[in-house]
């Protein structure tokens, strides 16, 4: 397992090289001049030229690429906009992002796994139909619609929650109050896939022979469902949740925009609009590393939930 | 894991129960929360590229003269009085002697000299540099007198000095920390002291108790970027912020019915227009431009789209700015007339300038109003066999396209109340913002004269000439709308009035905004 982990981590190097070339290429293919965006509508040609020089936007692409990579690894890659090390810029936004993402994910798991299990056990019941329809709504209704609906209800009409913004750490009351709505809205979109996957893998398993055997030897129904069936259904669920965890680090742009939440998603999108090339580059690289590492952790987790899996 | 859920669940319930405690705890401190559509890009005045930065900087920094209360007449601020020489080439300012920066340094003439030179220094690439182009040199005379020598008379200089982008910075401090670090920790002489800037979250200022005009009545100001206008409306409605701007027309009409809010609308200093290329066929043919003018029911469309947030315009120069020529310009507007449009288009087709089924794009920004009017224009033109499509792009992509002569576009402009700022960059042949590539020696000449003449009357004549020729004869643009500024505040906010340029002035010689 140690060998496997090391090998996977070593594979990161060529992968990141590939990603960095890709992202740099896309950046350079994107129309728009960072200097123009930075200086705004009033800029003169002279000022533009100076800014291009300042950020080395005039040198050949390979020179720019090598410089960017070099700066990234020495920790000197600075955002044009924030004038700060890109790693620091991203890390600062990581706290609100993770607070929002993890809370939403926990909410989603807390609702969708039980809902999926009950749906599979009481197949074609009213509960099953209701939860499947709700899941369908969750995945189809855009966040800016549910978000604004909730804001209108809870902030404008009932006046129990703040409409938007970040209230500080989630372990303070103000922080938590600001977190409730965005986390709920985001979790709504996550619930759908987990519920459906839980339901379908449970349905498959509940028809297996060993389940019938368990029931026949008198195991309680609860035990049959949770221990015999659900434990085996965990594999696809873990894959799904793992994917969601990895994606969560990149932030949720729509939710963050609606709720004016200062997260990584908004940071990255704003960086693209501002043509803050170093920040886009650094941001995507950091997120790629996280994505790959989280996926690796999920793979290793398989070994824990299913001891039959061995890493060679 | 289970415990975390229980704790989180409990905490949510608890917090819902005790929300009423929070406003009470903060009641002692007077906090003003302002919602902004966008976060400022910069806070260092020399670097500020647009209104959001200016709106915040206007509360941290002071300028030599102020236009905060009267947008067309300078009033004393850091300079208590000034003299302009007969030939209009020498400006002498006498500074107040009781002004201190937020770091307790005393304001002297050398700070003013340093700031203006920083704007003019090419190395800083300041977006405001060109407004100081005519300045030849700056000299100090003692600690409190500063003299500006100009190459030629330049009427808009006072406006440049009164703009928030010319906020005076402490020379020694800036030299010590550097221009970039100063941008994230600005220090000025203004009514509020910079506290912190959390990107995408908030900018916090606290009051400057020793402010020379008056002690601010508010203890703390929080500027919050709220990107969604619907959410901005919900915030002001639920009391999450005290002042809201850039709202949607439908939200404004709803908020007007709300009992505890003040909705204030004033004429703004911003426009939208439909522009054509002067060089590229078929747009370069005046008949094409007139045909479009006749083909689209602009009056009705504008009324529908900008309902309550803008008024139909006929010129580039808004009513609050001299010269006043609205009657004439209005008489030159072309009415909606399908037959005339048809006639012009047929003529152009016959001459081979325009092909049937001609395909082109109307380029515009992502401003929803502009996208809508572009769609109206494109839809109407289809009736005449022109296949126009709307391309709404973000600035970084759009700007290079416009600079390379896009043919047909819908853009806007906003500026201070001086006709030079409203026309020079748009109509002068060499300017970057002249997206139409409009080029006429007589126009250039009139624009140059308008800069160097001093009397408003003589200057006005030049601008009347420019507007009548460019818009009333050549129809190089179709003026669409002058936007109005609507600001919604809570009833508990006292003394605040909106600014035509979307600024938030809180403490001036005439006002001291407070929260009850």
Which domains, and CATH codes, for chain A? 99-263+294-305 (1.10.3720.10)
pLDDT at A312: 62
pLDDT at A11: 85
Residue B202, pLDDT > 80, answer yes
3-class DSSP state for residue B60? Answer: helix
CA proximity to A96, closest of A183, A4, A213, A210 = A183
Residue B488, pLDDT > 70, answer yes
Task: Give B 104-143 residues with CB within 8 A of chain A.
Answer: 122-123, 125-130
Pick B150 or A227 by higher pLDDT: B150
Residue B5, pLDDT > 60, answer no
Q: Tokens representing B24? A: 């009470």
Residue B110, pLDDT > 50, answer yes
The region of weakest confidence among A104-113, B23-32, B134-143, B375-384 is B23-32
For the segment A233-237, the average pLDDT, to the nearest whole number, is 87
Residue A161, pLDDT > 70, answer yes
Interface contact B6, partner A, CB < 8 A: no
Interface contact B25, partner A, CB < 8 A: no
pLDDT at A58: 79
Q: Per the confidence metrics, is the pTM higher than 0.90?
A: no
Size of interface A-B (CB pairs under 8 A): 157
Residue B192 contacts residue B206 (beta carbons within 8 Å):
yes
Across B24-183, where does the E strand assignment appear? 31-36, 65-66, 75-76, 79-84, 90-95, 135-141, 145-150
pLDDT tens digits for range A201-230: 999 888 889 888 888 998 888 888 888 888
Residue B64 contacts residue B161 (beta carbons within 8 Å):
yes
With tokens 């022109």, the residue in question is B386
For the segment A85-110, the average pLDDT, to the nearest whole number, is 92
pLDDT at B32: 96
For the segment B178-194, the average pLDDT, to the nearest whole number, is 94
User: What is the C-alpha separation between B424 and B463, in angstroms, rounded?
Assistant: 10
Packing angle of the helix pair B441-452, B456-470 (nearest 10 deg): 160
Interface contact B8, partner A, CB < 8 A: yes
CA proximity to A187, closest of A93, A112, A265 = A112
Residue B98, pLDDT > 80, answer yes
Interface contact B235, partner A, CB < 8 A: yes
CA angle B2, B6, B11 (to 5 degrees): 145
pLDDT at A41: 65
The region of weakest confidence among A226-235, B226-235, B335-344 is A226-235
With tokens 């030179």, the residue in question is B117
Residue A268, pLDDT > 50, answer yes
Residue B94, pLDDT > 60, answer yes
Residue A39 contacts residue B127 (beta carbons within 8 Å):
yes
Q: Which percentage of chain B shows pLDDT scores above 90?
A: 70
pLDDT at A144: 86
Residue A255 contacts residue A100 (beta carbons within 8 Å):
yes
Interface contact A88, partner B, CB < 8 A: no
Contacts of range A19-26, beta carbons closer than 8 Å, 24 or more positions apart: A19/A284, A19/A285, A19/A288, A20/A65, A20/A69, A20/A281, A20/A285, A21/A65, A23/A280, A23/A281, A23/A284, A23/A285, A24/A61, A24/A64, A24/A65, A24/A68, A24/A281
Q: How many CB atoms lie within 10 A of CB A258?
A: 27
Residue B15, pLDDT > 60, answer no
The region of weakest confidence among A48-57, B59-68, B109-118, B353-362 is A48-57
What structural domains does chain B harbor?
Answer: 45-175 (3.90.76.10), 192-267+485-515 (3.40.190.10), 268-483 (3.10.105.10)
Packing angle of the helix pair A231-248, A86-121 (nearest 10 deg): 150
pLDDT at A38: 74
The region of weakest confidence among A154-158, B127-131, B233-237, B420-424 is B127-131
3-class DSSP state for residue B430? Answer: coil
End-to-end, the C-alpha distance of chain B in Å comes to 45
pLDDT tens digits for range A21-62: 998 998 888 877 777 777 766 667 777 788 788 777 878 888
Q: Which percentage of chain B shows pLDDT scores above 70?
A: 95
Q: Which of B199, B395, B399 lies closest to A82 in CB terms? A: B199
Q: Do B234 and A151 touch (CB under 8 A)?
A: yes
Residue of B nearest to A153 (CA): B234
Interface contact B492, partner A, CB < 8 A: no
For the segment B253-278, the average pLDDT, to the nearest whole number, is 91
Packing angle of the helix pair A126-140, A173-206 (nearest 10 deg): 120
């Amino acid at each position: 397992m140690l060998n496997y982990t090391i090998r996977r981590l070593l594979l990161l190097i060529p992968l990141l090289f590939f990603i960095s070339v890709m992202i740099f290429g896309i950046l350079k293919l994107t129309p728009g001049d960072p200097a123009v965006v930075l200086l705004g509508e009033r800029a003169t040609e002279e000022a533009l030229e100076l800014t291009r020089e300042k950020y080395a936007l005039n040198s050949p692409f390979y020179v720019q690429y090598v410089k960017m990579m070099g700066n990234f690894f020495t920790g000197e890659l600075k955002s044009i906009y924030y004038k700060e090390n890109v790693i620091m810029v991203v890390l600062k936004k990581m706290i609100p992002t993770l607070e929002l993402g993890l809370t939403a994910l926990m909410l989603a798991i807390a609702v969708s796994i039980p809902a999926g299990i009950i749906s599979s056990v009481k197949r074609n019941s009213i509960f099953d139909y209701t939860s499947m329809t709700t899941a369908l709504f969750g995945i189809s209704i855009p966040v800016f619609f549910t978000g604004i609906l909730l804001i209108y209800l809870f902030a404008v009409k009932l006046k129990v929650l703040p409409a938007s913004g970040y209230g500080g750490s989630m372990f303070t009351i103000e922080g938590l109050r600001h977190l409730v709505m965005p986390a709920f809205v985001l979790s709504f979109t996550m619930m759908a896939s987990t519920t459906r996957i839980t339901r379908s893998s449970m349905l498959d398993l509940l028809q297996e022979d060993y389940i019938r055997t368990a029931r026949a030897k008198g195991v309680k129904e609860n035990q049959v469902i949770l221990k015999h069936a659900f434990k085996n259904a965990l594999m696809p669920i873990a894959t799904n949740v793992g994917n969601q965890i990895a994606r969560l680090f990149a932030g949720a742009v729509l939710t963050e925009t609606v709720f004016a939440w200062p997260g990584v998603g908004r940071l990255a999108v704003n960086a693209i609009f501002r043509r803050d090339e170093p920040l886009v580059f650094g941001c995507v690289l950091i997120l790629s590393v996280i994505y790959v590492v989280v996926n690796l952790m999920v793979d290793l987790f398989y070994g824990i939930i299913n001891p039959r899996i061995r890493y060679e | 894991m289970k415990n975390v859920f229980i704790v989180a669940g409990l905490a949510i319930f608890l917090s819902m129960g005790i929300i009423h405690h929070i406003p009470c705890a903060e009641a002692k401190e007077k906090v003003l929360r302002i919602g902004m559509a966008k976060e400022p890009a910069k806070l260092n005045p020399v670097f500020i590229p647009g209104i959001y930065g200016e709106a915040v900087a206007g509360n941290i920094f002071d300028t030599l003269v102020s236009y905060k209360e009267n947008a067309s007449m300078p009033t004393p601020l850091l300079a208590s009085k000034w003299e302009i020489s007969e030939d209009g080439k020498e400006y002498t300012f006498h500074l107040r002697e009781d002004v201190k920066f937020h770091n307790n340094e005393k304001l002297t003439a050398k700070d003013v000299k340093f700031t203006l030179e920083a704007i003019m220094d090419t190395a800083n690439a300041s977006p405001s540099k060109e407004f100081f182009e005519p300045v030849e040199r700056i000299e100090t005379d003692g600690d409190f007198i500063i003299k500006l020598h100009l190459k030629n008379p330049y009427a808009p200089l006072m406006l440049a000095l009164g703009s928030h982008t010319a906020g005076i910075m402490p020379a020694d401090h800036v030299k010590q920390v550097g221009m970039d670090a100063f941008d994230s920790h600005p220090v000025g002489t203004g009514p509020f002291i910079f506290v912190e800037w959390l990107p995408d979250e908030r900018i916090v200022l606290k009051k400057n108790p020793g402010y020379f005009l008056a002690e601010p009545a508010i203890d703390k100001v929080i500027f919050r970027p709220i990107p969604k206008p619907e959410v901005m409306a919900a915030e002001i409605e639920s009391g999450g912020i005290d002042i809201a701007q850039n709202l949607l027309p439908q939200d404004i009409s709803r908020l007007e019915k709300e009992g505890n809010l003040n909705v204030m609308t004033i004429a703004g200093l911003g426009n939208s227009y439909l522009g054509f290329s002067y060089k590229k066929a078929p747009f370069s043919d005046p008949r094409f431009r007139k045909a479009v003018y006749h083909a689209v029911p602009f009056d009705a469309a504008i009324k529908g789209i900008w309902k309550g947030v803008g008024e139909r315009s006929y010129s580039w120069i808004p009513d609050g700015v001299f010269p006043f020529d609205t009657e004439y310009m209005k008489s030159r507007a072309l009415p909606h007339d399908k037959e005339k449009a048809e006639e012009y288009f047929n003529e152009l087709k016959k001459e081979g300038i325009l092909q049937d089924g001609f395909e082109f794009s109307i380029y515009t920004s992502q401003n929803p109003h502009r996208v809508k009017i572009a769609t109206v224009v494109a839809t109407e033109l289809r009736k005449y066999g022109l296949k126009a499509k709307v391309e709404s792009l973000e600035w970084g992509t759009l700007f290079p396209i416009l600079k390379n002569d896009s043919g047909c576009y819908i853009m806007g402009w906003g500026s201070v109340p001086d006709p030079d700022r409203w026309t020079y960059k748009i109509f002068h042949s060499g300017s970057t913002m002249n997206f139409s590539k409009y080029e006429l020696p007589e126009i250039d000449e009139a624009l140059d004269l308008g800069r160097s003449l001093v009397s408003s009357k003589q200057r006005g004549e030049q601008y009347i000439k420019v507007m009548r020729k460019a818009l009333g004869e050549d129809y190089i643009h179709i003026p669409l709308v002058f936007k109005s500024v609507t600001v919604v505040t809570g009833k508990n906010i006292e003394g605040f009035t909106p600014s035509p340029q979307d600024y938030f002035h809180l403490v001036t010689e005439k006002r001291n905004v407070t929260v009850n």
